[in-house]
Amino acid sequence: MAGDGRQKVEMPAATVSPFVLALGIVLIFAGPVLSWAMTATGIVLLIVGISGWVGQLTSPEGQIEEPVVAGPKPIEGIAGRVEALRPGMPGYRARLPEKMHPYSAGLKGGLVGGVLMPIPALIFGLIAYRSIWFPVNLLAGVVLPQLVDETLSATEQVAYLSAFHPGLFIGAVLIHAVISASLGLMYGVMLPTLPGRPIIWGGIVLPLLWTGFSYGFMGVLNPILHDHVDWPSFVVAQFVFGITAAIVVARTEQIPA
Amino acid sequence: MSGNTLADHLAIPYPNIGMAIVEKQPETSAPSATPLTAVLHDWLTTVDHKKIGIMYILMALLFLVLAGVQALIMRCQLWWAGNDIVGPDTFNQMFTMHGTTMVFFAGMPILAGIANYVVPLQLGARDMAFPRLNALGLWATLLGGLLTYFSFIAGSPPAIGWFAYAPLTQRNFNMGPGVDYWILGLLVTGIGSVTGAINLVVTVVCLRAPGMYLRRLPLYTWMAFWANLQILAVLPPLTAALIMLLFDRTFGTHFFKPDSGGSAYLWQHLFWFFGHPEVYVLILPAFGMISEIIPVFSRKVIFGYEFVALSTVAIAFIAFGVWAHHMFTVGMPRALDMYFSAASLLIAIPTGVKIFNWLATMWGGKLWLASPMLFVVGFMSMFVLGGLTGIMLAVAPIDFQVSDTYFVVGHFHWVLIGGTLFGVFAALHFWYPKATGRMLNERLARWQFWLLLIGFFLTFGPMHISGMLGMPRRIFTYPADRGWEFWNQLSTIGALIQAPSYLIFVWNVLWSLKHGDIAGDDPWNAWTLEWATTSPPPSYNFETIPTVQSRRPLWDQKHPEDPDWKHEE
Amino acid sequence: MNHASDSLAHHEGNLDPVKAGMITFLASESAFFGTLIMVYLFNLGTAFEPEREPYTPGKMLDLPLALPGTICLLLSSVTVHYAAKMLAQKKDAAFRLLWLATITLGIVFLGGTAVEWRDMIHAGFNISTNLFGSSYFTLVGFHAAHVTVGIILLTLVLALSRRTRAIHRHEVFAEVVSWYWHFVDGVWVVVFSVVYVFGR
Q: Which of C148, C167, C169, C172 to mutate to test the interface with A (most CBs of A within 10 A)?
A: C167
Task: Indicate whether A230 pLDDT > 80.
Answer: no
Under 8 Å between Cβ of B426 and B496: no
In a domain, B12, yes or no: no
What is the reported pLDDT for C82? 92
Average pLDDT over residues B26-48: 74
What is the reported pLDDT for A4? 52
In a domain, A85, yes or no: no
Under 8 Å between Cβ of C132 and C40: no
In terms of CA atoms, which chain B residue is nearest residue A46?
Answer: B136
Q: For residues B563 and B527, what is the distance between their CA atoms, to the nearest angstrom?
A: 12
In a domain, A80, yes or no: no
Average pLDDT over residues B374-399: 93
Helix (H) or strand (E) holding A255: strand A255-256
Res. A93 pLDDT band, cuts 50 70 90 = low
Task: Reduce the DSSP state of residue A54 to 3 states and report it.
Answer: helix
Question: Looking at this protein, which amino acid is placed at residue A141?
Answer: G
How many Å lie between the alpha carbon of C127 and the closest alpha carbon of chain A? 17
Q: For residues C117 and C110, what is the distance between their CA atoms, to the nearest angstrom?
A: 10
Helix (H) or strand (E) holding A63: strand A63-67
Instruction: Collect all residues of chain C within an 8 Å Cβ-Cβ radius of residue A11.
Output: 4, 7
Res. A31 pLDDT band, cuts 50 70 90 = confident
Q: Does B518 contact chain A (CB < 8 Å)?
A: no
Let me know whether A121 and A243 are in one domain.
yes
Average pLDDT over residues B36-47: 89
Per-residue CA distances from B375 to B240, B411, B419, B500 (Å): 38, 19, 10, 17
Task: Indicate whether B17 pLDDT > 50.
Answer: no
Per-residue CA distances from B332 to B273, B337, C44, C45 (Å): 15, 7, 19, 17
What is the reported pLDDT for A165? 81
Which among B10, B520, B560 is the nearest to A81, CB-wise?
B10
Sequence-ordered alpha helix ranges (H) in A191-230: 198-200, 206-221, 223-228
Pick the closest to residue B327 from B254, B270, B252 (CA basis): B270
Res. C50 pLDDT band, cuts 50 70 90 = low
3-state helix, strand, coil in chain C (%, to 5): 80, 0, 20
Q: Does C172 contact chain B (CB < 8 Å)?
A: no
Which among B209, B233, B254 is the nearest to C131, CB-wise?
B254
Task: Reduce the DSSP state of residue B448 to 3 states and report it.
Answer: helix
Residues in CB range of C86: below 8 A, 6 or more apart: C92, C94, C95, C98
State the residue range of the domain holding B535: 45-566
Angle between helices A166-190 and A103-116 (to 10 degrees): 140
Per-residue CA distances from B265 to B96, B296, B330, B332 (Å): 20, 48, 8, 10
Pick the closest to residue B143 from B197, B185, B174, B102 (CA basis): B185
**How many of the other CB atoms lie within 10 Å of CB of C8?**
28
Q: For residues B527 and B545, what is the distance between their CA atoms, to the nearest angstrom?
A: 16
Report CB contact under 8 Å: B5, A82: yes
**Top-confidence residue, B362 or C10:** B362
Q: Does C15 contact chain B (CB < 8 Å)?
A: yes
Under 8 Å between Cβ of A250 and A201: no
Pick the closest to residue B144 from B132, B153, B136 (CA basis): B136
**Top-confidence residue, A33 or B288:** B288
**Top-confidence residue, C89 or B78:** B78
Q: Which positions 71-100 of A are in contact with B (Cβ < 8 Å)?
A: 71-73, 75-86, 91-94
Q: Which range has the worst mean pLDDT, B194-198, C66-70, C108-112? A: C66-70
Instruction: Collect all residues of chain A within an 8 Å Cβ-Cβ radius of residue B147.
Output: 26, 29-30
Under 8 Å between Cβ of C84 and C175: yes
Res. B21 pLDDT band, cuts 50 70 90 = very low
In a domain, A190, yes or no: yes
**Top-confidence residue, B172 or B196:** B196
Q: Which of B46, B136, B179, B542 to mutate to test the interface with A (most CBs of A within 10 A)?
A: B136
Task: Indicate whether B475 pLDDT > 60.
Answer: yes
- Residue B472, phi then psi, degrees to nearest 5: -75, 155
In a domain, A73, yes or no: no
Q: Which range has the worst mean pLDDT, A133-137, B7-11, B118-122, B178-182? A: B7-11
Average pLDDT over residues B77-97: 91
Let me know whether A103 and A211 are in one domain.
yes
Under 8 Å between Cβ of B296 and B527: yes
pLDDT tens figures, A138-148:
777 666 656 66
Let me know whether A124 and A226 are in one domain.
yes
What is the reported pLDDT for C194? 92
Average pLDDT, chain B: 89
Q: For residues B116 and B134, what is the distance between their CA atoms, to the nearest angstrom?
A: 9
Task: Indicate whether C161 pLDDT > 80.
Answer: no
What is the reported pLDDT for A75? 78
Average pLDDT, chain C: 85
What is the reported pLDDT for C81? 93
pLDDT tens figures, B530-548:
999 998 999 999 988 888 9
What is the reported pLDDT for C4? 37
Res. A6 pLDDT band, cuts 50 70 90 = low
| DSSP-assigned beta bridge partners for residue A67 | A8
Res. B22 pLDDT band, cuts 50 70 90 = very low
Asked whether the CA dihedral C107, C108, C109, C110 is positive or negative, the reply is positive
In a domain, B297, yes or no: yes
Task: Reduce the DSSP state of residue A77 to 3 states and report it.
Answer: coil
Q: For residues A142 and A218, what is the distance between their CA atoms, to the nearest angstrom?
A: 9
Q: For residues C137 and C43, what is the distance between their CA atoms, to the nearest angstrom?
A: 13
What is the reported pLDDT for C2? 36
Sequence-ordered alpha helix ranges (H) in B46-177: 49-77, 88-100, 108-123, 131-153
Q: Which range has the worst mean pLDDT, B80-84, B326-330, C57-61? A: C57-61
Gyration radius of chain B's alpha carbons: 24
pLDDT tens figures, B480-504:
888 899 999 999 999 999 999 999 9
Q: For residues B378 and B450, what is the distance between their CA atoms, to the nearest angstrom?
A: 9
pLDDT tens figures, A190-218:
888 888 888 888 888 999 998 888 888 77
Asked whether the bond before B333 is cis by omega within 30 degrees of 0, the reply is: no
Res. B442 pLDDT band, cuts 50 70 90 = very high
Task: Reduce the DSSP state of residue B131 to 3 states and report it.
Answer: helix
Which among C20, C131, C142 is the nearest to B206, CB-wise?
C20
Task: Indicate whether B303 pLDDT > 60.
Answer: yes
How many Å lie between the alpha carbon of A40 and the closest alpha carbon of chain C? 18
Which among B205, B207, B236 is the nearest to C32, CB-wise?
B236
Task: Indicate whether A229 pLDDT > 80.
Answer: no
In terms of CA atoms, which chain A residue is nearest residue C161?
Answer: A58
How many Å lie between the alpha carbon of A98 and the closest alpha carbon of chain B? 16
Let me know whether A62 and A122 are in one domain.
no
What is the reported pLDDT for B47? 92
CATH number at residue B89: 1.20.210.10
3-state secondary structure B289-357: HHHHHHHHHHCCCCCCHHHHHHHHHHHHHHHHHCHHHHCHHHCCCHHHHHHHHHHHHHCHHHHHHHHHH
Average pLDDT over residues B325-340: 90
Q: Does A220 contact chain B (CB < 8 Å)?
A: no
Instruction: Collect all residues of chain B within an 8 Å Cβ-Cβ radius of residue A78.
Output: 8, 558-559
Task: Indicate whether A58 pLDDT > 80.
Answer: no
Residue at a domain's end among A66, A91, A108: A66
Average pLDDT over residues B110-115: 96
Res. A81 pLDDT band, cuts 50 70 90 = low
Task: Reduce the DSSP state of residue B438 to 3 states and report it.
Answer: strand
Asked whether the CA dihedral B428, B139, C12, C15 is positive or negative, the reply is positive
Average pLDDT over residues C51-56: 76
Q: For residues B35 and C200, what is the distance between their CA atoms, to the nearest angstrom?
A: 67
What is the reported pLDDT for A169? 84
Per-residue CA distances from B42 to A25, B47, B452 (Å): 22, 10, 35
Q: Which range has the worst mean pLDDT, B138-147, B224-233, B253-262? A: B253-262
* Interior angle at CA B531, CA B42 and CA B3, nearest 5: 150
Gyration radius of chain A's alpha carbons: 38
Which among A11, A15, A79 is the nearest to B539, CB-wise?
A11
How many domains in chain A?
A: 2
How many domains in chain B?
A: 1
Let me know whether A30 and A136 are in one domain.
no
Instruction: Collect all residues of chain A within an 8 Å Cβ-Cβ radius of residue C160.
Output: 54, 58
Let me know whether A246 and A130 are in one domain.
yes
Under 8 Å between Cβ of B13 and B366: yes
Res. A68 pLDDT band, cuts 50 70 90 = confident
Which among C10, C24, C128 is the nearest to B545, CB-wise?
C10
Q: Which range has the worst mean pLDDT, B93-102, B272-281, B309-318, C158-167? A: C158-167
Q: Which range has the worst mean pLDDT, A109-123, A215-229, B132-146? A: A215-229
3-state secondary structure C103-144: HHHHHHHHHHHHHHHHHHHHCCCCCCCCHHHHHHHHHHHHHH
Average pLDDT, chain A: 81
Q: What is the DSSP letter of C197?
A: I
Q: For residues B403 and B329, what is the distance between their CA atoms, to the nearest angstrom?
A: 7
Task: Indicate whether B2 pLDDT > 50.
Answer: no
Calculate the dihedral angle through the C-alpha atoms of A51, A57, A60, A65, rounding to the nearest 10 degrees: 120
Average pLDDT over residues B71-98: 91
For chain A, which residues lie within 8 Å of any Cβ of chain C, measuring from their own Cβ?
10-12, 54, 57-58, 62-63
In terms of CA atoms, which chain C residue is nearest residue A63?
Answer: C4
The interface predicted TM-score of the complex, written ipTM, equals: 0.91
In a domain, A18, yes or no: yes
Pick the closest to residue B200 from C99, A193, C33, C20 (CA basis): C20
State the residue range of the domain holding A144: 99-256
What is the reported pLDDT for B221? 96
- Residue B223, phi then psi, degrees to nearest 5: -75, -35
Under 8 Å between Cβ of C70 and C92: no
Q: Which of B122, B187, B254, B533 to mutate to test the interface with C (most CBs of C within 10 A)?
A: B254
List domains and CATH numbers for chain C.
15-46+63-198 (1.20.120.80)
Asked whether the CA dihedral B214, B215, B220, B226 is positive or negative, the reply is positive
Residues shown for chain C: 200
Task: Reduce the DSSP state of residue B104 to 3 states and report it.
Answer: helix
In a domain, A2, yes or no: no
Task: Indicate whether C192 pLDDT > 70.
Answer: yes
